[in-house]
Chains A and B, each alone.
Chain A
Amino acid sequence: MSYLIASSLEEALTSLRDGSGKARAVAGATDLYLQEMPYGLVDLSFLKETTVIEEKEGLMSLGAAVTHALAASSPLVLSRARALAEGCAAIGSPQIRNIGTIGGNVINAAPAADAAVALVGLGAKAELVDINRETRTEAVENLYWTHNRSLVDSSKEIMVRFLIKPCLAGEGSAFTRFAARRALALPMVNAAARVKLEKGFVKEVRLVAAPARPAPTRLLKTEELVIGRPVNGETISMVEKAVAEEIEVRGSLLRCSARYRQHLVGVLVASALKTAATRAGTSGKAGD
């Protein structure tokens, strides 16, 4: 077994290539540790590229190895991508948030991962580079292969950062979740919304919920219904119903019945939308 704390992206990529499929990228190891450990591990937690949070040329950039604790408390994330701060703050426990990362959360590909749902809600894109130094940029929701399986092969490819359009004036975002207990509990449902208002009417909107499919699910039909409307009581009840009709969720012995989850998903998406709209409405020039 070998463990490399990479000191540069270049070194990390070389090490993965030399591992010929037997070495794997790792960040907080909160997920990986529970699985069978690979022969070689390449730790990305200390690279500048994977840990920086910045806004440049109108785009926010968040390193893939940014921890949940860091994202949840970053002033930039709190003011420009509030849904992500809320999603990260809801994860596990302080110990998990201090080492678990947003990149790991996406690549672990759990269907209702909190950071991942928030990222999809915000419309984040991920920037990846493989061992042949080829880069690609993908919408986060397109990185899922099947349940709990990512399309990212962490023995060949490194996720470097997420790119997010910051929420500016007239825009707001929010994240909601519902679980059996207030910490250390996977959600029965989680949801995220991002909305842009113009003169009090919805100009742009993204609504996302999970767990339904392998990836956090965009609610395209409901989004369409909402466009052009004010976010008032009537819209909120309409969204509750529309979401429950648009998305199909399953029940499980450990979480809840399908029927209850179907009810919750409507309530949670509507509540995320409402909060996001309130933030959009009250946001000054600096965003929500």
Chain B
Amino acid sequence: MILKAPEKNIRRYGKAEGTGYQSPEVWSKVTGKAVYGIDLNLPGMLYGKILRSPYPHARIKKVDTTAAEALPGVRAVLTGAKLESKPFGIAVEDELPLAVDRVRYIGDEVAAVAAVDLQTAVQAIKAIKVEYEELPAVCDPAEALQEGAPQLHDNFPGNVAWQRELVRGSPGDAFTGADLVVEENFTVPAIHQAYLEPISCVAVDDPYTGITLHTALQSPDAVRKIVAGVLNYPLSKVHVSGPVMGGGFGGRVYGNLKVYILSALLAIKSGSPVKIQLTREEEFTAGRPMIAAAIQMKMTVRRDGTILGREADIITDNGAYSAQAPWVSKTVSERNDSVYRIPSIKTRVRLAYTNKIPTGQYRAYGNQAANFATESLIDMAAKKLGLDPLEMRLKNCVREGDITVHGLQIGKCGLDECLKAAAKEIGWDQKKEGRGYGLSVAIHANGSLVFDKNFRGASALARLELDGRITIFTGEQDYGQGTHAAFAQIAARTLDVSPAQVTVESKETKTAPFSTGALAMRQTTIGGKAIQLAAEDLREKIFKTAAELAGAPVTMENGVMCSISGQELALAEVAYYNHSATSGLSMTGEGKFVPEESDYDESGYGNISIAYSYAAHAVEVELDKTTGALTVHRLVAAHDSGRIINHLTARGQIYGGVAQGIGMSCLEGYLFDEGRVANASLAEYKIPTALDLPEIVPIFIEIEDPAGPYGSKGLGEIVMVPVLGAVANAAADAAGVRVTGLPLSAEIIYQAISGWECEQ
């Protein structure tokens, strides 16, 4: 093909500012053109369906698939006994693709079929006969840890999936002769991520390219690695091709591994593409919600309000298999400790297997559960000591230069400004009669190095296209949170072009750099830094080539190069010149961001992230004392996420995260009836509607942090964290009594006001 050299077409773009830049990606969504996973339909595609256990705990005696296999239209039937697979897992290897001899929760995968249409697949599932022998089940995590409890896994005695005991400083001394000790038991139920689009996957097995999973994931590479292991395929023969994602919130980091593995196995067996799509009921009964936690916590405080130490004994409810629950339990047990100057801590956390739905991760990784407990205790202490809760927080909150009890190094930190700004905006000094007020603060890491010591950063490619546009290749995913808009802005700023000139490609693992993915609030800081570096590298290459072309050194402004002789060159000209000179190579910049090695010991003590974000929320509520009904009127969310790259999407993150925080505070939570999920629908698992939300006021305290690109830091997860403590404190202020179990339903609050014994 002969390419014609471009016309001299000098266009000047506006400065790459625009902190309200709206990515053109938005338009494909709002006009209904975006193709989501559930929309996918490939030629010759079969429909997969999973047979699930109706018992919380049972032995499988016999699985008879003859009738299902004989059904016309059925193309593949899988059972655990025939698969001969090894256990796999995310944090702990305790799962099989299909149960072999035992099922451990209502929803456990027992068999899978693929058929020409969904009805036939459903019929085939019904035609499979399974003989079970019921076993005693244990559904309460505290009971599961007791001696004599039914055991779930032979290699995890005592039903302990994971545990940790940690002492830092000298908690014993801190508690002896203390001025004040406050202590409480807090409970947080299991929470579903409630993304709008149920998880689906179309798996294609091709003899040449291998397996392709058409499914939207926050961490496609992490999933691909596990799936390749289970299928026993080479890693380069397992790809993920991502359609548009209908919400993730942590629920699509690893998504639903069973869905990907089983659709792949069915595709291999049948020789056709296979789609498995979870129903909403399956999402609620066999998804991966966030763990429920029971947190027994006490804090010791000096008379003047200085926190001297805190102790916690935490039991988290793993469900039948582990997924990410060990990591989430770890965050519950420690992250929140670093928001205050606490010299001594003692923590025990135990993750218990129960015969219930397995658990995964949710936005903020459990930091919000710990926030609920700690921030409640702070207010309890302030009340007992007659101190202003604002003053007590200002007295104890971390500041730049601090090293926290877990060894986090506090760099740029606007936490006290956040507190002051939130308090001022809510009217802390002019409280309205009949209203309750609450405050809460949070810290959250920008990507944890503990996650994978050997893979702590990110990389990216920036390619100059022949038409002068820029394409960024990254493995960092955008599922609505706006990272691609921010990435375009970062690259545009580095290259001095308009963000509209930049396209971000992340959906194909075949071409995208390997990445940890959209989790742990690492994308803008770590992924964005790699993009900045790639763009810088490209910029250098462009300068070099342009100088060659112009025969003199060049400068660049607004996407236009200018030689000292005054000759102007468009990016497209430079691209074309390079294209001719190299017979078709593109000019590509490489960015690799590897955060410096930092020390952390066996116990996890050390600076586990390159930067931390901070927040303070203030809430105003009203309580109807005749019913216990709580109305959250206003929530002020003050955040230090460094320099904000895009205020439009940043505000969006706050609105969405606060909405989820309100849901978790006031409405949401799994209800179980002996292992059976009682509220397995969006009608009964109540997330807030627009009418249930307060006025949300975002405030940005923009303190540049040199760690991230252009002084920016992460925001996506921390937005949810302080909501829980702030709402709980405001509710307690309004009610005069404190509720320590979430959600703060009207009934629970009314019970507390009227001094009823808890009935539920």
Contact = CB atoms under 8 A, between A and B. Distances in A.
Interface stretch (A74-82, A191-199, A251-259): A251-259
A257 B760 contact: yes
Nearest to A253: B678
A82 B751 CA distance: 33
A264 interface: yes
B467 interface: no
A259 B759 contact: yes
A267 B625 CA distance: 11
A254 B684 contact: yes
A192 B188 CA distance: 36
Interface in A148-206: 178, 180-185
Contact of B671 (A183, A251, A254, A259): A254
B760 A264 contact: no
A3 interface: no
B750 interface: yes
B430 interface: no
A180 B759 contact: no
A181 B678 contact: no
B667 A181 contact: yes
* Range, interface on chain B: 20 to 34
A17 interface: no
Given A257-B759, A259-B759, A260-B751, A180 B746 contact: yes
A2 B626 CA distance: 51
Interface in B642-690: 667, 671, 673, 678-679, 683-684, 686, 688-689
A87 to B, nearest CB: 17
Contact of B686 (A178, A181, A263): A181
Nearest to B760: A257
B259 to A, nearest CB: 26
* Range, interface on chain A: 10 to 19
Contacts of B679: 254
Contacts of A180: 667, 686, 745-746
Contacts of B60: none
A257 B692 contact: no
Nearest to B673: A253
A254 B686 CA distance: 10
B30 interface: no
B208 interface: no
Contact of A182 (B683, B691, B750, B751): B691
A178 B756 contact: no
B500 interface: no
Contacts of B692: 181-183
Interface in B684-716: 684, 686, 688-689, 691-692
A185 B627 contact: no
A259 B689 contact: no
A178 B627 contact: yes
Contacts of B747: 256-257, 260
Contact of A185 (B629, B686, B760): B686
A214 B497 CA distance: 69
Contacts of A260: 747, 750-751, 759
A147 B218 CA distance: 46
Nearest to B679: A254
A180 B691 CA distance: 12
A13 B673 CA distance: 46
Contact of A267 (B626, B667, B684): B626
Contacts of B678: 253-254
A241 B750 CA distance: 17
A191 to B, nearest CB: 13
A154 to B, nearest CB: 24
A93 B688 CA distance: 13
A254 B629 CA distance: 17
A263 to B, nearest CB: 7
Residue picked from A93, A251, A257, most chain B C-beta under 10 Å: A257
A140 B673 CA distance: 36
Interface in B411-428: none
Interface in A229-259: 251, 253-254, 256-257, 259
Contacts of A93: 689
B283 to A, nearest CB: 18
B644 to A, nearest CB: 32
A160 B172 CA distance: 77
Contacts of A267: 626-627
A244 B126 CA distance: 47
Contacts of A182: 689, 691-692
A185 B760 CA distance: 21
Contacts of A185: 686
Interface string B716-756: 00000000000000000000000000000111001100001
A232 to B, nearest CB: 17
A182 B683 CA distance: 13
Contacts of B627: 178, 264, 267
Nearest to A271: B626
A187 to B, nearest CB: 12
Contacts of B683: 184
Contact of B689 (A183, A254, A263, A264): A183
A180 B686 CA distance: 8
A85 to B, nearest CB: 18
A253 B689 contact: no
A183 B688 CA distance: 9
Contacts of B746: 178, 180
Contacts of B760: 257
A196 B313 CA distance: 60
A257 B760 CA distance: 8
Residue picked from B627, B629, B667, most chain A C-beta under 10 Å: B627
A63 to B, nearest CB: 28
Contacts of B688: 181
Nearest to A180: B686
A135 B84 CA distance: 69
B454 to A, nearest CB: 46
Contacts of B691: 181-183
Contact of A263 (B629, B671, B684, B750): B750
Given A181-B667, A184-B683, A253-B678, 14 more contacts: A93-B689, A180-B745, A180-B746, A181-B691, A182-B689, A183-B689, A183-B691, A251-B759, A257-B759, A257-B760, A260-B747, A260-B750, A264-B627, A267-B626
| 5 shortest interchain CB distances as A-B pairs | A182-B691, A183-B689, A260-B747, A257-B759, A256-B747
Interface of A: 93, 178, 180-185, 251, 253-254, 256-257, 259-260, 263-264, 267
21 contacts: A178-B629, A178-B746, A180-B686, A180-B746, A181-B686, A181-B688, A181-B689, A181-B691, A181-B692, A183-B689, A184-B683, A251-B759, A253-B678, A254-B679, A254-B684, A257-B760, A259-B756, A259-B759, A263-B750, A267-B626, A267-B627
